Chain A
Amino acid sequence: MTQVHTFDAIIIGAGGAGLMAALHAERGTNVAVISKMYPTRSHTGTAQGGVAAPLGNMEEDRWEWYMYDTVKGGDYLVDQDAAEILARESVDAVLELEHWGLPFDRTEDGRIEQRRFGGHTRDFGKSPVMRSCKSADRTGHMILQTLYQNCIRRGIRFFDEFFVLDLILEDGIARGVAAVEIATGQTHLFLAKAVLLATGGFGRMFAVTSNAHSLSGDLVASVFRRGLPLEDMEFFQFHPTGIYKMGILLSEAARGEGGIMINGLGERFMERYAPTLLDLAPRDIISRSIDQEIRAGRGVDGKDYVYLDIRPETINRCQSAPGGKTVTAAQLEAKLPDIIEMMRVYQGIDPMKAPVPIQPTAHYAMGGIPTDCDGRVLGGSLSPVPGLFAAGECACVSVHGANRLGTNSLVDLLVFGRRSGRAMAEFCAGASPADPVAHAAEEALAELARLQRSRGPERVGALRAAMQHCMTDKVGLNRTAGGMEEALSILRDLKERYRHLGLADAGQKWNTEVLEAYELGCLLDLAEATTASALHRTESRGAHFREDFPKRDDANWLHHTLAFRAGSSGAGPVSEGIRFDRRPVSITTFQPEARVY
């Protein structure tokens, strides 16, 4: 028997966005947070370099400069009303974290210390500015811990290790979710006036990624399957400095502290591509520059990687540290302890003595579930879906446009997590109690049961690997119509094979095999939406680069993409085709210009 729970509001996902929303919705609202992992395992915890806010603790800074950087960084596909909110409210959000106990690094006079980060500038692009508030290179860990600690303090209700399968929508209104308790296999129905989706990204559709195994976009797929649109799915960020072959992230903070990148000829190649900001240009530009170097045969030993060099003698020779100051190994070890350890552990290289091989790694979805500036999810007509909210990486506000700036994922989840939590509480105050639903989640539960009984010839791992390689090869940094059409055909074939999976685990308790199969189905749907959206957009902008359409085309494409599943029903992956619509970009202050760094 399915167990039924009723709350005012439920939050799916216990990363930064979900916890921030819980803390802001909680007063007077009966809230529960549901997460497929223990909250402190969430991927927010792996964020490294910092969270932006124009505090001006190190040097003059202004929210207008930050807004400009965000808009230009996103190649003018950023909604400027949202970017203004992000830039203005970042200050308050960061200070709130400090008040809640977050151990930021400190200046000599006891203020929050800040560092430089890619694409963040003073005076509308003149030179890098110290805007990123940080705790060494483990800022995300500190944010996640601090938020969860405050949830413990407030006694917020958690359902940990509950896997949410599907959103329940009735007559276009969000009513709750269906979930499985992983430890027992017991099914649960959570009914609520308001549902907030805060499930993070879905980078596991790629072979080389910085994303956790858990990032499979389950609820983003659910929204798509329910006939709601996904926005800007073609914009997926490839972070330039992933550990070669493993994809593990080496923070941009390494370059903020003075590190540089060099090609196989020993050249500081960013001088060619971004003469002002150099190694601190935005990520899309650097990743594409690395790719161009490699394709021109200037990778290290002619291979598909370049070097990140953070040796103190290199930084001092290039005078690339902030203010051209001299740095020592001990100072770098104190500022970047975790990534230096990662280079030692995973690459077996001491980065104080040698440069380390890096390659771009799939990192962040700029697109996702369309929302307004208060987290309200927008449906097909761009009117809010009553009771449905989204925040964090799974949402598309859009403050990142075609390319997110470093640190802005954390700012996004704080600022919009907070706003959506408040909006949700306000919505609950005016909504009638959650009613029982007639046909709750029957499809999702049936799909799970079907998967668990399946004894076909196909294996989850093999299909997942095929999808990941297809996406990295054909829908990665360089895209062509031909490659993406092939990718669509491969993905549709994988969906067909998905109907014939064979699973070994017949048990109910801790059956992670069936859940991984379900996750794969979600990823297949999102991979198709990503590929189809990328094929649809016949221009290059930000992270989306088309070899066959290498220029930005504002006349035809200065708008967001909305992708809909053509026929909408069911809880498993199907290929029913995808249709497109558009959402206008909000342009309030900064007219699109050529993007030069």
Chain B
Amino acid sequence: MLVALKIKRFDPERKPAAWWSNYKLEAAPGDRVLDLLVRAKDELDGSLTFRRSCAHGICGSDAMRINGTNRLACKTLVRELGSRITVEPLLGMRVEKDLVVDMEPFLASYRSVKPYLINDEPLPADGRERRQSPAERLRFDDTTKCILCGCCTAACPVFWADGEYVGPAAIVQAHRFLFDSRDRGAGEHTAALLDMKGVWRCRTIFQCTLSCPREIKITQAIAEVKQAIVLGK
């Protein structure tokens, strides 16, 4: 099938304002949007710029806005979209060039929840694993799936209105440790979530949940983090 691919472009070295490029490409229904971007770059315009790596939905490099929704280009197939495909950079993040946005503020929010296991108790004397039951492990399974792609945070209207908001991805990461039975650092993970930039800015809009390519129940995770803070977990 012939696909009309429309891509929002921006290159401050060439023009001060953004513009649109339109390409016509022969595509198969099973092609990934990423395959089309690679072909457009290889065959039509070498200056087209985007991040990509694993190409099968795990590394989180190629989050972008595809037909109005935040998705991974490598996990979105032509057959889901039809013959008109519009690709733009994620919203709410500074565009560096074409589909590449500045992820550093997003990653700074991620780091602010101290995203690592905090437990300074002595390890088991035999040097073996800390015990954790299957039920305890399951408690935080959903939020371990996060690949830090940015789809959720860049889909959040609260984040669009105020980039200082820590955003859903950071709260997901806090959840992953707060509900790990081995973790003892609840207060440290939530310290960055308590003020006006934190978890209380969430307005339960569900945009994050809808846009997560890993299908993490993000809104639910945020609610559980709020509850943990209130109940002083």
* Complex CA–CA separation, A532 to B30 (angstroms): 36
Q: Are B58 and A46 in contact (CB under 8 A)?
A: yes
Q: Are A512 and B58 in contact (CB under 8 A)?
A: no
Residues of the B chain whose Cβ atoms lie less than 8 Å from the Cβ of A183 = 96
User: Which segment of A103-111, A167-175, A268-276, A401-409 sits at the interface?
Assistant: A103-111
Given contacts A37-B61, A461-B42, contact A214 B53 (CB under 8 A): yes
Q: Which listed residue (A213, A348, A507) contacts B30, Cβ 8 A?
A: A348
Q: How far is the CB of A518 from chain B (nearest CB, A)?
A: 13
In which size bucket is the chain B interface?
A: 35 or more
Tell whether B22 is near chain A: CB-to-CB under 8 Å: no
A residues 117-154 near B (Cβ < 8 Å) are: 135, 138, 141-142, 145, 149-150, 152-153
Residues of the B chain whose Cβ atoms lie less than 8 Å from the Cβ of A212 = 53-55, 59
Q: How far is the CB of B119 from chain A (nearest CB, A)?
A: 8
* Complex CA–CA separation, A506 to B43 (angstroms): 17
Tell whether B26 is near chain A: CB-to-CB under 8 Å: no
Q: Are A508 and B129 in contact (CB under 8 A)?
A: no
Tell whether B52 is near chain A: CB-to-CB under 8 Å: yes
Q: Are A513 and B59 in contact (CB under 8 A)?
A: no
Q: Which listed residue (A41, A504, A509) contacts B13, Cβ 8 A?
A: A509
Q: Are B75 and A460 in contact (CB under 8 A)?
A: no
Closest to A462 in B: B42
Q: Are B54 and A149 in contact (CB under 8 A)?
A: no
Residues of the B chain whose Cβ atoms lie less than 8 Å from the Cβ of A101 = 116-117, 177, 180, 182-183
Tell whether A77 is near chain B: CB-to-CB under 8 Å: no
Residues of the A chain whose Cβ atoms lie less than 8 Å from the Cβ of B100 = 510
Residues of the A chain whose Cβ atoms lie less than 8 Å from the Cβ of B38 = 213, 461
* Complex CA–CA separation, A17 to B23 (angstroms): 41
Q: Are B59 and A110 in contact (CB under 8 A)?
A: no
Q: Are A345 and B77 in contact (CB under 8 A)?
A: yes
Given contacts A108-B134, A346-B56, A348-B30, contact A141 B147 (CB under 8 A): yes
B residues 30-75 near A (Cβ < 8 Å) are: 30, 38-39, 41-43, 45-47, 49-61, 75
Residues of the A chain whose Cβ atoms lie less than 8 Å from the Cβ of B61 = 37-38, 41
Residues of the A chain whose Cβ atoms lie less than 8 Å from the Cβ of B59 = 37, 40-43, 45-46, 212
User: Which segment of A92-100, A324-332, A437-445 sits at the interface?
Assistant: A92-100
* Complex CA–CA separation, A142 to B140 (angstroms): 13
* Complex CA–CA separation, A104 to B140 (angstroms): 12
Q: Are B147 and A40 in contact (CB under 8 A)?
A: yes
* Complex CA–CA separation, A124 to B130 (angstroms): 30
Tell whether B148 is near chain A: CB-to-CB under 8 Å: yes
Tell whether A58 is near chain B: CB-to-CB under 8 Å: no
Q: Are A149 and B42 in contact (CB under 8 A)?
A: no
Tell whether A248 is near chain B: CB-to-CB under 8 Å: yes
Residues of the A chain whose Cβ atoms lie less than 8 Å from the Cβ of B175 = none
Tell whether A503 is near chain B: CB-to-CB under 8 Å: yes
Q: How far is the CB of B176 from chain A (nearest CB, A)?
A: 8
Tell whether B128 is near chain A: CB-to-CB under 8 Å: yes
* Complex CA–CA separation, A246 to B35 (angstroms): 11
Closest to A507 in B: B13
Tell whether A469 is near chain B: CB-to-CB under 8 Å: no
Q: Are B133 and A504 in contact (CB under 8 A)?
A: no
Residues of the A chain whose Cβ atoms lie less than 8 Å from the Cβ of B134 = 105-108
Q: Are A504 and B46 in contact (CB under 8 A)?
A: yes
Tell whether B231 is near chain A: CB-to-CB under 8 Å: no
Tell whether B16 is near chain A: CB-to-CB under 8 Å: no
Most buried by A among B111, B116, B177: B116
| Residue tally, chain A, CB below 8 Å to B | 61
A residues 331-382 near B (Cβ < 8 Å) are: 338, 342, 345-346, 348
Most buried by A among B13, B45, B53: B53
Q: Are B132 and A510 in contact (CB under 8 A)?
A: no
* Complex CA–CA separation, A510 to B177 (angstroms): 35
Residues of the A chain whose Cβ atoms lie less than 8 Å from the Cβ of B201 = none
Q: Are B47 and A507 in contact (CB under 8 A)?
A: yes
Closest to B107 in A: A38
Residues of the B chain whose Cβ atoms lie less than 8 Å from the Cβ of A41 = 51, 53-54, 59-61
Bits for A510-524, please: 1 = Cβ < 8 Å to B, else 0.
111100000000000
Bits for A174-187, please: 1 = Cβ < 8 Å to B, else 0.
00000000010000
B residues 6-21 near A (Cβ < 8 Å) are: 11-14
* Complex CA–CA separation, A105 to B140 (angstroms): 12
Tell whether B97 is near chain A: CB-to-CB under 8 Å: yes
Tell whether B227 is near chain A: CB-to-CB under 8 Å: no
Q: How far is the CB of B93 from chain A (nearest CB, A)?
A: 14
B residues 104-126 near A (Cβ < 8 Å) are: 107, 111, 114-117, 123
Tell whether B232 is near chain A: CB-to-CB under 8 Å: no
Q: How far is the CB of B150 from chain A (nearest CB, A)?
A: 11
Q: Which listed residue (B46, B75, B136, B145) contacts A505, Cβ 8 A?
A: B46
Q: How far is the CB of A517 from chain B (nearest CB, A)?
A: 9
Residues of the A chain whose Cβ atoms lie less than 8 Å from the Cβ of B97 = 507, 509-510
* Complex CA–CA separation, A141 to B59 (angstroms): 9
Residues of the B chain whose Cβ atoms lie less than 8 Å from the Cβ of A346 = 30, 56, 77
Q: Which listed residue (A38, A465, A507) contacts B14, Cβ 8 A?
A: A507
Given contacts A43-B59, A99-B123, A106-B137, contact A37 B53 (CB under 8 A): yes
Q: Which listed residue (A112, A152, A460) contacts B42, Cβ 8 A?
A: A460
Tell whether A88 is near chain B: CB-to-CB under 8 Å: no
Q: How far is the CB of B3 from chain A (nearest CB, A)?
A: 18
Q: Which listed residue (A40, A46, A462) contacts B56, Cβ 8 A?
A: A46
* Complex CA–CA separation, A510 to B123 (angstroms): 45
Q: How far is the CB of B158 from chain A (nearest CB, A)?
A: 24
Tell whether B220 is near chain A: CB-to-CB under 8 Å: no
Q: Are A513 and B30 in contact (CB under 8 A)?
A: no
Closest to A150 in B: B116
Closest to B111 in A: A152
Q: Are A459 and B42 in contact (CB under 8 A)?
A: yes
Residues of the B chain whose Cβ atoms lie less than 8 Å from the Cβ of A513 = 41, 46-47, 49
Residues of the A chain whose Cβ atoms lie less than 8 Å from the Cβ of B127 = 92, 95
Tell whether B103 is near chain A: CB-to-CB under 8 Å: yes
Q: How far is the CB of B29 from chain A (nearest CB, A)?
A: 9
Q: Are A461 and B129 in contact (CB under 8 A)?
A: no
Q: Residues of B at under 8 Å CB distance from A?
A: 11-14, 30, 38-39, 41-43, 45-47, 49-61, 75, 77, 79, 96-98, 100, 103, 107, 111, 114-117, 123, 127-134, 136-137, 140-141, 144-145, 147-148, 177, 180, 182-183
Q: What would be 7 A-B contacts, judged by CB atoms less than 8 Å apart?
A: A108-B134, A152-B116, A246-B56, A459-B46, A460-B42, A509-B96, A512-B49
7 closest pairs, A vs B, by CB? A461-B42, A101-B117, A110-B131, A504-B46, A505-B47, A149-B116, A510-B97
Known: A46-B58, A513-B49. 18 other contacts (CB 8 A): A38-B61, A41-B53, A41-B61, A92-B127, A99-B130, A101-B117, A106-B137, A111-B131, A152-B116, A153-B114, A249-B56, A342-B56, A346-B30, A346-B77, A459-B43, A504-B46, A505-B47, A505-B49
Q: Residues of A at under 8 Å CB distance from B?
A: 37-38, 40-43, 45-46, 92, 95, 98-101, 103-112, 135, 138, 141-142, 145, 149-150, 152-153, 183, 212-214, 246, 248-249, 338, 342, 345-346, 348, 459-462, 464-465, 503-505, 507-513
